[in-house]
Chains A and B, each alone.
Chain A
Amino acid sequence: MACIESLKYEIILRNATFSECREYIRKNCREHVTVDPGFALFEKPVIGVPPILLGLDGDSITFPYTKPCYGTFLLRTENPEEAARIRSLLKK
């Protein structure tokens, strides 16, 4: 997700493990979606240890984001188009 800096995002967890990210999403997001590593989110592949959970709350998407030097973050951003795209994939 090289374009992450172009998004307006909130950092929910820093230096998180993928199980911590999953736990947060299960407890705090209204809908959650399991995706495989490499799933395209904001046109870039998601990096992570499966199962990777994405959270949806209206137009908000909560997702793990890994950088080689900084570890894994759990981020939240509002993006109606991407939230709708993920929901449409789920319905297929």
Chain B
Amino acid sequence: MVSITGQNEEKKAVLVLGCPQVPVQTAVALYLMHGLRRLGVRPIVAGNPAARMLVDVSDPLHHYAGEMVDLDTCIADMAAGRRKYDYYIVFAHNDAGVSYAATVQSISGKKVIMIIYGENFKAIADSVNFPAEKIVAKAVHNPMPMKKKIDEVLPWLVSNL
């Protein structure tokens, strides 16, 4: 493991998953978790039951995924100050994803990392008007465009946010 965080205490990232109707979401989430672990960051997954189950079935021994949290519970805990993370990563392929990202940004007060994908990626990215680092790719069935973007920016994001 190569840690670039430069601290002994393990950092934590929450991945807020959207509706799993776009095929690349689970693959990109697992790849991102792999990248985060290589950088010494523990990934926590928040999502609805279907999104969490897809991660659970794809990573049954949780080599990549850490704790799994119900989406509504996670947001409620963050709003009440019971949960805090070092990185907030929100998946968005529709307006609802942007709404969740805006909520997480407002509650945490931190810049969020948005993974923006799907057919309407440009319109979704343009609608973001709050502090966010956007990783944007037209990824629907093929995760490679998003994988390449993640490879390019993840070390910088982990070092700088």
Contacts and interface: CB of A to CB of B under 8 A. Distances in A.
Interface of A: 1-2, 15, 17-18, 36-38, 40, 44-50, 66-72
B107 A72 contact: no
B40 interface: no
B100 interface: yes
A74 to B, nearest CB: 13
A40 B80 CA distance: 9
Nearest to A70: B96
Majority-rule SS of B interface residues: helix
A68 B102 contact: no
B103 A67 contact: no
Interface residues of B, number: 25
B142 interface: no
Nearest to A3: B72
Nearest to A48: B99
B103 A45 contact: yes
A67 B96 contact: yes
